[in-house]
Amino acid sequence: MKPRSVSVSSHSRPEETGAALRRIAELAGELGVELRLSPGEVRKHGEIPGAVEVSEDDHETDLAVILGGDGTILTHLRRYAGTGVPVFAVNYGAIGFLATVEPSEVEDGVRRALEGDFDVMQLPVLRAEAADGGRLAVNDISFHRRHNGRVAELAYSVEGEELGEVRCDGLVVSTPAGSTGYNLANGGPVLAWGVEGFIVSFIAPHTLTARALVVAPDDTLQVTNRSSSDPVDVITDGHSVGSLAPEASTAIRFSHREALLAQAPGATFYHRLRDKFGRLSH
């Protein structure tokens, strides 16, 4: 369906994205699509002809176009999770695994998006309990020992059954979308988008028996900090969000189809994997 309105957000380097934003504004005008910008975007880019300024937390749009790398894309996938708004991303980062098109494809890609010619991939998220109401992650939730601190002692259980306690530098809980990130660096498995389940993997485990685990989507994972004195840092999608106190636990659950990622028609996870990472074997 052709969007009636589109919101555009960009990363922190407007000199890289300004020309693309202005071209998107022109395309929106040609196609009769309302262009919506937050005050932050107006401060970065100046006045954009035809744009309507809306509040920073406004979600009243049919499509979100993001100009940035995976960090910026993840921020907006979280922002629009549960709203029904697809995120269409132009890669202005290093890898851009979540991006829909590259900067050289802005003209054709965005025109097609504004005409409604795109597919939507429904991505799951992870939700972790927290005192302030919980944390949401599209890629991963991770627990890390403090800088210059002692090795973390992390226990994990599924559905109340403790499966292990590992001395390590950290533990990563990843969605299929995030399986090509931190989890992959830990030697965890790559899960194709559409697989139902999430992964537990370890950062520098101090045991030969620690193995990555794929958890069933309807099961609850609990992570416990077994240290009696040292907290561990909690990070969602690369952003520090707090800590897990000594001897405290947090529950993590898989939540289906909350984030919507716009894709070029016919695009597949496997093409994206090979395009960004090359062949997995030779």
Catalytic residues: 70
What count of Cα atoms within 13 Å lies in the side-chain half-sphere of residue 101?
21
